[in-house]
Amino acid sequence: SAVISQKPSRDICQRGTSLTIQCQVDSQVTMMFWYRQQPGQSLTLIATANQGSEATYESGFVIDKFPISRPNLTFSTLTVSNMSPEDSSIYLCSVLGTSGVYNEQFFGPGTRLTVL
């Protein structure tokens, strides 16, 4: 399985500001994803981070609000722009790794964001 770290682990931000979250994986992976988990809710996919090209966003998420970078196969960033209290969530990085025969999806520890 892949070991995934995220920075920061948590942050409290003022509305109108932006926060960039970093995701580092200990091995090269093909697929990286960013999820949002609102308080008490399940996980919702924001986008697939594509290495060397623009991220693929899910319905309801746009690049201007959640710009994503993926400069190589082990690192990605997610920026939450012009934040409002509704952006208060846990943001999770996820990768597709190999465990045996099939690929399986693993998650980082998450970044807990509170917007005041």
Instruction: Give the residues lining the site for another protein (CB under 8 A).
Output: 1, 4, 30-31, 33, 41-45, 48, 58-59, 92, 94, 96, 99, 102-110, 112
- Residue among 1 and 18 whose Cβ is closer to another protein: 1
- Residue among 12 and 16 whose Cβ is closer to another protein: 12
CB 76 within 8 Å of CB 95: no
CB of 36 to another protein, least distance (A): 11
- Residue among 72 and 82 whose Cβ is closer to another protein: 72
CB of 99 to another protein, least distance (A): 8
CB of 82 to another protein, least distance (A): 25
Spatial distance between the Cα atoms of 9 and 56, rounded to a whole number of angstroms: 25
Distances, alpha carbon 10 to alpha carbons 2, 19, 65, 89, 91, in Å: 22, 11, 19, 10, 10
Helix (H) or strand (E) holding 49: strand 43-49
Contacts of 28 (CB under 8 A, 6+ apart): 73, 74
For 13, the token pair is: 């931000």
- Residue among 14 and 52 whose Cβ is closer to another protein: 52
CB of 10 to another protein, least distance (A): 9
